[in-house]
Structure 1
Amino acid sequence: MADTTTLIIGGSSGMGLAAAQQIVAKGGHVTLVGSSADKLNAARAGLGALADIHQVDLRNTDQVDGLIEHIKENNRHIQGLINAAGTFSPKPFLEHTSEDYESYMDLNRATFFITQAIAENMKANGGGSIVNIGSMWAKQAVRATPSSAYSMAKAGLHSLTQHLALELAPHGIRVNAVSPAVVVTPIYGAFIEPDKIEETLTGGFDAFHPIGRVGRPEDVASTITHLLSEDASWVTGAVWDVDGGVMAGLV
């Protein structure tokens, strides 16, 4: 419907953009939020007239508050929300700085209060569906990628998923999460040269996954869009492993 949209936080690349492409392919409208104007404009050019964009630095509280005010003032029904923003920079626990820690917590703070505003919109408009992108690292430590602060932040997102599912169900709002393993996305650019991400991940982590390969953004996006849809209308509070079998092999 023209008066509804799916808001995608972190929608200009990776899994968020792949989900946007799948939604637009089925005739749905998307609103992408990201920090890079270049990436947002490129995403909108690829998606066409069914996409709007908002440039927001999620670590900037004033910009986050501005987005929240925009959400509150806009009459459009935000029928779906995908919380896809993230950063990943593995570092040993004993080397973490307060700045490292805050970089993850700032994203969680933004996610929390943006989701609150979206839930109010959904409540006022008869319901909706929220999907959070969590992580396998929230459930399992990996020696090759020490990620205590990142994992703590993602575990919090998994927990938030379950709490919101319980609290928002009376308002017709479903809340779920996906928990991916290694997926080829720009998030690894924090510690891998961008033009070597594909080569590094496939060479180093294909065998880590029982299914025999690392994930692609569309692999996870297909589950995200399923959870958003009415095909999953009896699913809420779930944290689905979309991980090529990693958790099945570790537990």
Structure 2
Amino acid sequence: MKKSSFDSKTAIVIGGTSGMGKATAKLLLEHGAKVIVISKSQASVDAALTELSAFGEVSGVRLNLTSDIEVANYISILEKDGRSINYLVNASGIFAPKPFLDSTREDYDALLDINRGFYFITQAVAKKMKTNGGGSIVNIGSYWAEHAVKGMPTSAYSMAKAALQAFTRHAAMELSDDKIRVNAIAPGIVETGVLDELMGSEEGVKEAYKGFNSIHPLGRNGQPKDVANAIVFLLSDEAAWITGTVLDIDGGLAAGRS
């Protein structure tokens, strides 16, 4: 992939301060893009900027995707900003397995409300892309959007990710005439900080991830850079004839579990 395909172009990475989103932001910076990372926590924005600034031109925005007011305010800022937005990555999310019969309205809203923020920010960015001749969008879906694992109950999470993947295909069709490509990736188990709160200790997290390695046909869990490589490919000119695709990045899980 030629670095010049990203040179001086601007990317927004929602959820770009941790995990797969931060790895994507770093790789985009290394390829010459200017990157705006978005997170609901100012502390995570500040920490990410400190780390990522070594790789290129990066700025940050604190934004709670589930707040209609904050999303509307950010869209207003986008509309007034004269800069072109060439790339958008919707990477924010939470993973909190919980049995369907025990799930609460709060659990449901925490997962599904993120999509509402994605939807309207993507709409605003797509309008800018249309005006400026096109762009590329990648959403992070999930293996669990289309697959169920009995020992890991994720009904609300899967519902949210399945919706995001359906949105990907529909947006790709509607925006194709405007030279805007929309794709998604569906990761399997990727070693990020997503289990930290669930497991309660660093050792617990390590043991949990260790136990997941063997279910992948390729014999290991994914790393954030595995996912970032795929996202940056889909954003790039190398993927110019790809839109409406949900790409499995899962060590072979979608084909079958070991």
- Using the size of structure 2 for normalisation, the TM-score is 0.93
Segment drifting more, 43-52 vs 187-196: 187-196
Specify whether residues 85 and 203 from structure 1 end up closer, same or farther in structure 2 by C-alpha distance, changes over 3 A only: same
Structure 1 equivalent of residue 3 of structure 2? none
Structure 2 equivalent of residue 204 of structure 1? 211
Amino acid at match of 2:34: H
Alignment match of 1:4 (pick from 2, 9, 14) = 9
Report the secondary structure of 1:191's partner residue: helix
Alignment match of 2:249 (pick from 230, 233, 242) = 242
2:185 is the alignment partner of 1:167: no
Alignment match of 1:41 (pick from 34, 39, 46) = 46
Alignment match of 1:192 (pick from 185, 199, 202) = 199
What do the CA deviations read for 1:124-166 (whole angstroms, capped 9, x no partner)?
Answer: 1110000000000001001121000000000000000000000
Say whether the 8 Å CA contact 2:196–2:205 is kept in structure 1.
no
Structure 2 equivalent of residue 121 of structure 1? 128
How do 1:70-219 residues align onto structure 2 when only pairs under 5 Å count? 70-193=77-200, 195-196=202-203, 198-219=205-226
Say whether the 8 Å CA contact 1:83–1:111 is kept in structure 2.
yes
For the aligned residues, what is the CA RMSD?
1.4
1:3 deviates by 6.2
Alignment match of 1:15 (pick from 5, 12, 20) = 20
1:189 deviates by 2.9
Gaps of 5+ in 1: none
1:115 deviates by 0.5
**How many residues get paired?**
250
Segment drifting more, 121-130 vs 2-11: 2-11
Say whether the 8 Å CA contact 2:38–2:61 is kept in structure 1.
yes
Counterpart-to-counterpart distance in 2, 1:50 and 1:36: 20
Report the secondary structure of 1:246's partner residue: coil
2:232 is the alignment partner of 1:222: no
Say whether the 8 Å CA contact 1:3–1:76 is kept in structure 2.
no
Gaps of 5+ in 2: 1-5
Amino acid at match of 2:58: A
Segment drifting more, 98-107 vs 236-245: 98-107
Amino acid at match of 1:16: G
Amino acid at match of 1:105: L
Identity %: 44
Report the secondary structure of 2:85's partner residue: strand
1:201 deviates by 3.5
2:20 is the alignment partner of 1:24: no
1:188 deviates by 2.1
Say whether the 8 Å CA contact 1:19–1:221 is kept in structure 2.
yes
What do the CA deviations read for 1:50-69 (whole angstroms, capped 9, x no partner)?
Answer: 10100011122111111111
Segment drifting more, 178-187 vs 231-240: 178-187
- Using the size of structure 1 for normalisation, the TM-score is 0.96
1:182 deviates by 0.5
